[in-house]
Amino acid sequence: MIFARPVNDFLRHVPAWPLYILGALPVIWVFWQGVTGGLGVDPVKGIEHRLGLWGLWWLIAGLCVTPLARVTGVRLIRYRRAIGLLAFFYILVHLLVWLVLDVQIPSQIWADILKRPYITIGMAGFLLMVPLAVTSNNWSVRKLGPVRWRSLHRLTYVAVTLGAIHFVMLVKGWQTEPVVYLLVVVMLLVFRQVRSLPGLRRA
């Protein structure tokens, strides 16, 4: 693409570290809305939902990096680590709000994980993200080796799928928004697999 070169040239001068700061700012806004009554009659649930949604957005954004490069030529690879860590951060805070502000009772937390399928799936997705977050650094790439590191980070695909399913199961009845997110995730994963076929790698 003609426009990809100037965009990529510009992005070479834009470091990744400001993304961590800018990406975390909405957490403050979400909590502020909850405290000031901007999230309805149940602000804890409102905060919980908004943070989980932001986490899903960041996960989907991470999935979009490679397709965007293949389709448009715009390369955001240098920002993918920040995007992934921001996704983990939002989902971690989402989980902490559920644990500390919502359920609060330890025995009830464990019971909910076991008895409520959407919580079980959400927790499984979060646990898969823990080793990804821990190894999102250059030292881990050197220690594991590029091949093993990339194999480990393919867990991202499972985690984002579980996150989207968690959202679908969380809402009551079949609502359009969570189904759309799930379809977007599936289409992005299918695109990655199709484009990885030997005859299409250079297409």
* Residue-level pLDDT at 132: 96
Q: State the burial class of residue 18 (Cβ atoms within 10 Å of its Cβ: 0-12, 13-18, 19+).
A: exposed
In this structure, which amino acid lies at residue 13?
H
Q: Model confidence over 40-69: pLDDT tens digits?
A: 889 999 999 999 999 999 999 999 999 899
Return the number of other C-beta atoms located less than 10 Å from residue 79's C-beta. Answer: 19
Tell me what pLDDT residue 45 has.
93
Domain ranges of the chain: 4-200
pLDDT value of position 203: 36
The Cα 112–Cα 60 span in angstroms is: 27
Query: What digits encode the pLDDT tens for the residues 89-128?
Result: 999 999 999 999 888 787 888 888 889 999 999 999 999 9
Distance CA 194, CA 203 (A): 11
pTM of the predicted model over 0.75: yes
pLDDT of residue 19: 95
Distance CA 125, CA 94 (A): 13
Amino acid in position 84: G
